[in-house]
């Protein structure tokens, strides 16, 4: 089985993110692997270990993605493709999905694994759109996966009515939730081996396409401004005798906030 | 005139409140409204769908649509969008919405925005705002395409009292079953509890509750208040709470009038699911816990001691 997994480098959401004049202030930001993609990498590596699959990752971004890709190698991914093209700087989910479509068509994979969303945009669209463009099945928000045979996997998805059990015919796309696994910490041996491994870097023309082809010159929507959310007005904190402060808070919920 | 198609949110045969909230907003924007409903045994909901504020009801009712399957669901929405010539197609916040909206957008070559909190329409100019980056930022997005598919965040719009619609049902043809993604079964969790998405009050429990006894203690508070009962991820990972209860970036996003965070530290991923709540109460024994940064009323204390007192004091007030 050939598995393609996608990884995106995203701003570290644990740190402060500031906005100036409608744009994100780059100064002081740090970038990390998208948490859900890390779950996807772990999923791919586990499938490889249990079912003899070949694993390839693809990332879209600049050469500063190399450290993230090496980390995924150290976790057990075998091949890495980096799509590095300045024309993709303002791309949206649909354009990214079309880039992934080109990558897929070059490699003929059986299973594509993406994170359920990216922590920077929180869009949750690219993987699902990719399946639509390829006209292959897709299950999103997957929390378990099991190989049935060469051409089928069984997945569990968290849906509105409960856990859905779906049998998927390959090729297919799954987008994974963080509940699916706990990504491993790479072992020292893996880290050493990863250092020597190459990354196959391509621009759009090497991929046989162009930004116009991908719809990137004519975006369906664009972000015009970033804003900082209004901070919640600072609240009151009560310390001391539990009976007293709890009674006081309940009183305030009733009389001040009028929500009880 | 703008035409807005709202995808009905139906759970266990009941039309959920978000449908009327979205239709109310659509009417407030002066749009012509329609709703598309997909499921099994739902024809009887036509009047409810009209009363929720729709002027046309596109209905796909068939036994094959009983269990959610993204492909056929998408076909029904696309079919309705084409018949209605919708400019905007809105889903309420749900896993169904998140799974189907990008597919509908891809098929219609429309723009797609998830978790929007507001929309403005000025002639041909459509703009949406949405929180992003784990709620740390808000983005304003300009729509260039002639159609927009959007998932609306829970609590973004309010239902208008006394909104009306007209019964005008249109039967959709039933799409073929997706043989490449066969839904075998749905294992329902926590079926008859109060739905988190609809609840006016939500009580959530975190790792501070330690074990089943602690969880049961906090649940009693939820029961007293007739509140939705939620959880942080920590207890779900520990297998102590069902997945369906998770509040946060990965789980449910809630915006109730009153939110209790009991024994929850306030990780950014949890905050992303609840910091739109009107009033937040936190109980935590660590006075430095980040949850206190968003809490309107923070009680520093041991939840095993505080929760029983909370219940008693609330009983006094509610009589
Ligand atoms: C990609 C990703 C997505 C995630 N999505 C979500 C999500 O959707 N929802 C979510 O909740 N988390 C999510 N998480 C996990 C999140 O980062 C935290 O790990 C989680 O929210 C912690 O849960 P907690 O607050 O219950 O546990 P902890 O962080 O362990 O906090 C327990 C708290 O209980 C307090 N406490 C302990 N004993 C007592 C007592 N007796 N009385 C009072 N207080 C006590 C402690 O002081 C502490 O503050 C996600 C993480 C990742 C990486």
Each residue's pLDDT tens digit, B268-301: 999 999 999 999 999 999 999 999 999 999 999 9
Q: Is A123 within the bounds of a domain?
A: yes
Please report whether residue A188 resides in a domain. Answer: yes
Rounded-to-integer distance, Cα B21 and Cα B158, Å: 5
Question: Is residue A61 in some structural domain?
Answer: yes
For chain A, percent of residues with pLDDT exceeding 90: 95
Mean pLDDT of A198-213: 97
CB within 8 Å: A260 and B318: yes
**pLDDT confidence of residue A118:** 96
Neighbours of B21 (CB within 10 A): 25
Share of chain B above pLDDT 70, in %: 99
Say yes or no for a CB contact (<8 Å) between B186 and A250: no
> Can you give the pLDDT at residue B191?
55
Question: CA-based diameter of chain A, in Å?
Answer: 71
Is pLDDT of A105 > 90?
Answer: yes
Q: What is the mean pLDDT of residues B149-163?
A: 94
Question: Cβ contact (<8 Å) for A249 and B243?
Answer: no
Indicate the SS3 state at residue A55.
strand
Instruction: Provide the pLDDT for residue B198.
Output: 82
Phi, psi angles (nearest 5°) of residue B240: -95, -20
Query: Where residue A19 sits, what CATH number does that domain have?
Result: 3.40.50.620
Our answer on whether the CB atom of B56 is closer than 6 Å to any ligand 1 atom is: no
Q: Which residue has the tokens 């463009």?
A: A133
CB of A139 less than 8 A from some CB of B: yes
Q: Which pLDDT value is given to residue B188?
A: 85
Residue A215 lies in a domain: no
Q: What is the pLDDT of residue B315?
A: 96
> Is the Cβ pair A141, B99 closer than 8 Å?
yes
Q: Is the pLDDT of residue B190 over 70?
A: no
The 10 Å Cβ neighbour count of residue A5 is 27
- A21 — contact with chain B (CB < 8 Å)? no
- Dist. CA A86–CA A93, nearest whole Å: 16
* Domain presence at residue A45: yes
Q: Find out if CATH 3.40.50.620 is the number for domain B3-171.
A: yes
**pLDDT one-digit tens code per residue, A45-84:** 999 999 989 999 999 999 999 999 999 999 999 999 999 9
A138-179: pLDDT as tens digits: 999 999 999 999 999 999 999 998 899 999 999 999 999 999
Q: B284 in ligand 1 pocket by Cβ < 6 Å? A: yes
The answer, yes or no, to whether residue B319 has pLDDT greater than 80, is no
Chain mean pLDDT for chain A: 96
Contact between chains at B142 and A250 (C-beta distance less than 8 A): no
Domain count, chain A: 1
φ, ψ of residue A4 to 5 degrees: the values are: -110, 125
Q: Which residues of A touch B153 (CB under 8 A)?
A: none
Listed in sequence order, the residues at least 6 apart from A46 whose beta carbon sits closer than 8 Å to its beta carbon are: A181
Dihedral of the alpha carbons of B99, A143, B136, B21, in degrees to the nearest 10: 40
Q: Is B298 in the pocket of ligand 1 (CB under 6 A)?
A: no
Q: Alpha helices, DSSP H only, in chain A? A: 35-51, 66-75, 93-107, 126-134, 188-196, 242-255
- Residue B49 CB coordination number (10 Å): 28
In chain A, which residues have their Cβ closer than 8 Å to the Cβ of B110? 220
In a domain, A64, yes or no: yes
CB pairs under 8 A between A and B: 257
pLDDT attached to residue A231? 85
Mean local confidence (pLDDT), B151-176: 95
Q: Atom 14 (ligand 1): residue with closest C-alpha?
A: B269
User: In chain B, what residues touch A242 (CB-CB under 8 Å)?
Assistant: 299, 301-302, 305-306, 309
- Where helices occur in B109-255 by DSSP H, the ranges are 212-224, 233-237
C-alpha A81/C-alpha A79 separation (Å) is 7
pLDDT of residue A233: 86
- C-beta of B270 in contact with ligand 1 (< 6 A): yes
Give the pLDDT score at B244. Answer: 87
Give me the domain span that covers residue A181.
2-202
What are φ and ψ of residue B204, in 5° steps? -115, 145
| Ligand 1 contact via B248 beta carbon (within 6 Å) | yes
**A30 falls within a domain:** yes
Q: Say if residue B17's pLDDT is above 80.
A: yes
Segment 1-20 of chain A within 8 Å of chain B by CB: 11, 13-14, 17, 19
Domains of chain B by residue range: 3-171, 196-318
Task: Check A243 against B278: CB less than 8 A apart.
Answer: no
Q: What is the pLDDT of residue B193?
A: 73
Query: How far is Cα B313 from Cα A238, in angstroms, rounded to an integer?
Result: 16
Chain B residues touching residue A251 (CB < 8 angstroms): 313
Element (H, E) at A167: strand A162-169
* B61 has a pLDDT exceeding 60: yes
Kindly state the DSSP code that residue A21 receives in the 8-state scheme: T
Q: What is the pLDDT of residue B192?
A: 57
Distance of alpha carbon A26 from alpha carbon A18, whole angstroms: 8
Residue A260 counted as domain residue? no
pLDDT mean across residues, chain B: 95
Q: Domain B196-318 is classified in which CATH homologous superfamily?
A: TPP-binding domain (3.40.50.1220)
For residue B217, count other CB atoms closer than 10 A to its CB: 17
A26 touches chain B (CB under 8 A): no
Domains B3-171 and B196-318 share a fold: yes
């Amino acid at each position: 089985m050939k598995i393609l997994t996608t990884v995106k480098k995203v701003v570290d959401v644990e740190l402060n993110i500031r906005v100036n004049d409608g744009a994100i202030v780059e100064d002081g930001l740090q970038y990390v692997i998208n948490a859900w993609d890390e779950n996807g990498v772990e999923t791919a590596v586990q499938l490889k270990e249990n079912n003899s699959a070949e694993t390839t990752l693809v990332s879209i971004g600049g050469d500063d993605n190399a450290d993230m890709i090496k980390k995924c190698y150290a976790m057990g991914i075998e091949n890495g493709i980096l799509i590095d093209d300045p024309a993709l700087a303002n791309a949206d989910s649909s354009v990214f999905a079309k880039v992934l479509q080109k990558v897929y068509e070059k490699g003929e994979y059986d299973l594509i694994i993406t994170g359920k969303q990216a922590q920077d945009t929180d869009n949750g669209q690219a993987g699902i759109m990719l399946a639509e463009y390829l006209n292959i099945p897709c299950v999103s928000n997957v929390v378990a996966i099991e190989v049935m045979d060469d051409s089928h996997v069984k997945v569990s998805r968290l849906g509105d009515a409960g856990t859905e059990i779906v049998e998927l015919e390959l090729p297919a796309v799954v987008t994974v939730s963080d509940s699916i696994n706990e990504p491993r910490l790479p072992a020292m041996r893996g880290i050493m081996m990863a250092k020597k491994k190459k990354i196959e870097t391509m621009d759009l023309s090497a991929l046989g396409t162009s930004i116009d082809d991908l719809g990137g010159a004519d975006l369906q929507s664009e972000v015009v401004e970033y804003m900082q959310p209004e901070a919640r007005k600072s609240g009151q904190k009560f310390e001391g005798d539990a009976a007293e402060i709890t009674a006081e808070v309940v009183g305030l919920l009733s009389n001040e906030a009028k929500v009880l | 005139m703008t035409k807005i198609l709202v995808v009905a949110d139906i759970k266990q045969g009941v039309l959920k409140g978000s449908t009327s909230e979205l239709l109310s907003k659509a009417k407030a924007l002066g749009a012509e409204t329609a709703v598309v409903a997909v499921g099994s045994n739902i024809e009887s909901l036509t009047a409810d769908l009209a009363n929720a504020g729709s002027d046309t009801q596109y209905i796909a009712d068939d036994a094959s649509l009983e269990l959610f399957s993204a492909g056929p669901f998408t076909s029904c929405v696309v079919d309705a969008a084409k018949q209605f010539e919708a400019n905007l197609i809105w889903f309420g916040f749900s896993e169904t919405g998140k799974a189907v909206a990008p597919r509908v957008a891809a098929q219609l070559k429309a723009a797609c925005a998830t978790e929007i909190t507001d929309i403005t329409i000025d002639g041909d100019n459509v703009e949406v705002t949405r929180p992003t980056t784990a709620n740390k930022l808000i983005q304003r997005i300009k729509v260039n395409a002639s159609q927009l598919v959007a998932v609306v965040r829970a609590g973004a719009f309010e239902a208008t009292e006394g909104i009306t619609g007209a019964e005008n049902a249109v039967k959709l043809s039933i799409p073929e079953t997706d043989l490449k993604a066969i839904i075998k079964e749905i294992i329902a969790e926590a079926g008859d509890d109060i739905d988190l998405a609809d609840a006016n009050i939500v009580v959530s429990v975190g790792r501070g509750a330690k074990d089943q006894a602690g969880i049961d203690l906090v649940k009693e508070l939820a029961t007293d208040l007739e509140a939705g009962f939620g959880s942080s991820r920590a207890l779900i990972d520990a297998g102590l709470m069902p997945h369906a209860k998770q509040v946060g970036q990965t789980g449910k996003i809630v915006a109730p009038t009153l939110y209790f965070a009991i024994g929850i530290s306030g990780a950014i991923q949890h905050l992303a699911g609840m910091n739109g709540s009107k009033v937040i109460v936190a109980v935590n024994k660590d006075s430095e816990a980040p949850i206190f940064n968003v809490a309107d009323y923070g009680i520093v204390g041991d939840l095993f001691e505080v929760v029983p007192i909370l219940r008693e004091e609330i009983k006094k007030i509610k009589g």
